[in-house]
Structure 1
Amino acid sequence: MFESPIHITFLGIPVILMSYASSVIPIILAAYFGAKAEHGFKKIIPDVVKTFLVPFFTLLVVVPITFFVIGPIATWTGQLLGQVTLWIYHLIPPVAGAFLGGFWQIFVIFGLHWGLIPIAINNLTVHGSDPLLSMVFAASFAQIGAVLAVWIKTKQQKLKTLSVPAFISGIFGVTEPAIYGITLPLKRPFIISCIAAAIGGAISGLWGTQTYMVGGLGIFGIPSFISPKEGITFGLWGAVIAIIVAFVLGFVLTYLFGAGKEKEYRKPSHEEAVATKISDQTETGVKVENEVISSPFNGEVKPLSEIDDAAFASGALGKGVAIEPSEGKLFSPVYGTVSALFPTNHAIGIITDQGAELLIHIGIDTVQLDGQFFSSHTAQGSRIEKGQILIEFDIDEIKAAGYAVTTPVVVTNHDQYHLIATGETELKAGDRLIELQAK
């Protein structure tokens, strides 16, 4: 039952090859393991050789583990599911159909569906027909039914835009855009589509629907239910009914219970929380004035786009620059007030006397240090003077823990200014960093 074809060997060890197409979880697991391994190597490998030795050893460890563990486990689990489903099918076909149809999209996400494909092909080769593929056929139509409901009901323009191509591709059996772009992020439509697919699978099992060839996907797969010997049979009508029921249920249930109440599902990052807090503390209607923001550090100036943090690099949290500090001291770049100070002391928000809102975030992902190696010399709400020490931090310890100290310095209300960043690459604390010209 668990035999799998061996295509290559690695250091004399047989490797089971697995396709990761359409699957997400195995890839995420491999990436997660790789991130943990990289973090560990960063702690033990000297800085002078980190640039090339960390990726080298990370790949040296992660690639074999991925091939030896993640791929084979997914393959064997999929084969086990296929054998169990066939066993249930011979006992109670509708139950097997409901099980396989309902969980099919979940199997696809985990990459487990590839373990069922060889079983289906073997059935076609030996018996001339296969029940497994027929029981999951309605799943794609349940997905597009849910997507159609989201498109009609939602008020979010972005969802409407995504729904159209996801629906069209789903008609032809390509459901990844529907799953990963629409139903799975919204959660409830995905659950509803699985329920609708389960009912469609149960109908296929009840009618004894069989697949007689490996045909196309979506609507192009319907001819695969026509028997080469008997022509159109009850099995074909069972497949058609299953498709219609799955589509209608996916649409109606999503329209009634799963669409139109979408919220922003992504939890704001701590950087966004600080930026929001800064904005909340600013009085509305305050007229901003021209101002010069001084460098809060001694160090090297870099473009914001070069830092390894998408939120800052994209400018979503504000416009500005990044600084690679050479000394673990953050000096106030302006006269103003501390509007936000994280408990971990790694990020600070400042509202200047001229109305600019600044966010200074020491390092990348340093919130994970939970305040280690940071000490504050100010407090939220405190009045601060230009050049005053606000935060001290241990650069060596932070780097030894595997974190970069590259620090974004951004203006969160940048839409009220024209920003002119310094052209210098090396600055001392107090040097001109950003000139703000009020619009």
Structure 2
Amino acid sequence: MDVQSLAKEILRHIGGEKNVVSLVHCATRLRFKLKDRSKADKKALEETDGVVTVVESGGQFQVVIGNHVPEVYKEIGRISNILEDSPADQSQKEKGNLAGRLVDVVSSIFTPLLGVMAGAGILKGLLLICTNAGWLTAEETTYTILYAAADSLFYFLPLLLAVTAAKKFGANLFVALTMAGALIYPSILELKNSGADTEFFGIPVVLMNYTSTVIPIILAVFVMSWLEKYCMRIIHDSVKNFITPVICLVVMVPLTLIVFGPLGVYTGNGIAAAILSVFDVSPILAGAIIAALWQILVIFGIHWGIVPVILNNIAVHGKDYIKPATAAAVFAQTGAAFGVMLKTKNKKLKTLAGSAAITGIFGITEPAVYGVTLRLKKPFVCGVISAAAGGAIIGYSHSVAIASGAPGLLTIPIFYGPGFLGFIIGISVSFVLSIVLTYIVGFDDPIDEKQQQHTGKGSGEKIYSPLQGDVLPLTEVSDKVFSSGALGEGVAVLPAKGIVAAPADGVVTTAFPTGHAYGITTESQAEILIHIGVDTVKLEGKHFDSKVVQGQKVKRGDILAEFDLEALIREGFDVKTPVVVTNSNQYSDVVQTDQKRVRTEDLIMILI
């Protein structure tokens, strides 16, 4: 993947960096919040090489890329000022409905932590396996050190959430951190553990244990951000930078301990109790429903409303019953993609489905869902049905998650505990059943439609000869890079005239200053390379007269360049000209002309 080009294309198609309010990323997506949605070209983005799809959900413009999203995110930060501006463009008012804004808030706060949560969760699960197997004991210093590495994120979770919440709400990062630190300050914990009556200027304080909590600090930072803005507006410029933090700390720390803390803890415990009660009534039904609906919730971004509940369950109770059922959904969609790979005869789809299935096994399902199963519809439905079957087994087994992390092959240790065997059986059933159902039910294979249309010279992307002359196989080109097919499939033309024409309507993506080679991306995204002769770059432009520039739109037959054919031959250059489809691996077939001699108005290739 050309990360630099992709980052530039994404910036261009979203309407430029000035159209971006904020940008965060998760495991597979760039999540933009745009000022003006109408300036973004969704269709162009979806057709950009490297972009799986584009999803609009929860007030976010989400560009799904896959595993390369961190590199693209960093490149966007390097070539623009978006990342510096992301945390706090407060001039832009939140738009959209309440549910959409809530999803945006939750995803922005938790997304930056997902990677390290997964890593810490895996380590925690492995330590549990080691102690149960007798390989380590809790008294060993090795265990103590590794457990500190695994548990510190969860213990100090309020501090980490203070950072991401402050960025989201545009609050002072260090004031938010200080406030979170006060909640888990040793003397506060001692007061809570002592059981003594606590008050603040006569106001009773119900102390809670705030280590590993989620909701209290988010509520506190949200309110603090408004208090801070108000103070910065009314306090004189000469003193506001240090008076404002004083006011925020004096007001917000007691207010959090008295109001937001207990409210957040009781709310989280109440939601957890409600969900547990559903599992108590019918764990089989609860597991099946969660697993069946999870991927649908993910598509619309609604799952972010459940993430805090999962984290709160793990933090407060040390385990969660929801997350294991979601794993069934992940493995089911992965299995569906694997089934598509086995069933399809379309080379491009087979490659895409195979790579998506491999990625899905490790917990990243966006390429499988958006690139394969949802697009084909029936495999997605097969995945939902299979997820329900696996989720029912997991619910019946009362499987739990002891830490957070994207469900996948590497994160299986975080599910080690009660019902672990049932969890393994559940995800295995989801995966295998989804493969079988997808293969049996089938889908509208894109290659089948193409083959039905393909008669005679066929249909598809038509590429015309850029030169007049004799048609030769690529193997007759003396340059091995072309003759081996390394750059793609195509033909060669032995020119009879020194005129090069556009082989199709499109855009000039490459126009070498030396005038010896041109790249055209057609309107259907076929990438055509025309290289006039072999080693002609050595002439440094001599004998070539370019008629186009990079980025110029052209119509089929427009003159790209003129060259002195006789001079090239006289100077001993091989003038066989490769005409190559550099992205030919994205097509089922490249049908070459059977004519031995062509003019510029003659068809030279059809891309199926």
TM-score (norm 1): 0.48
Higher relative contact order (CA 8 A, sep 6+): 1
TM-score (norm 2): 0.36
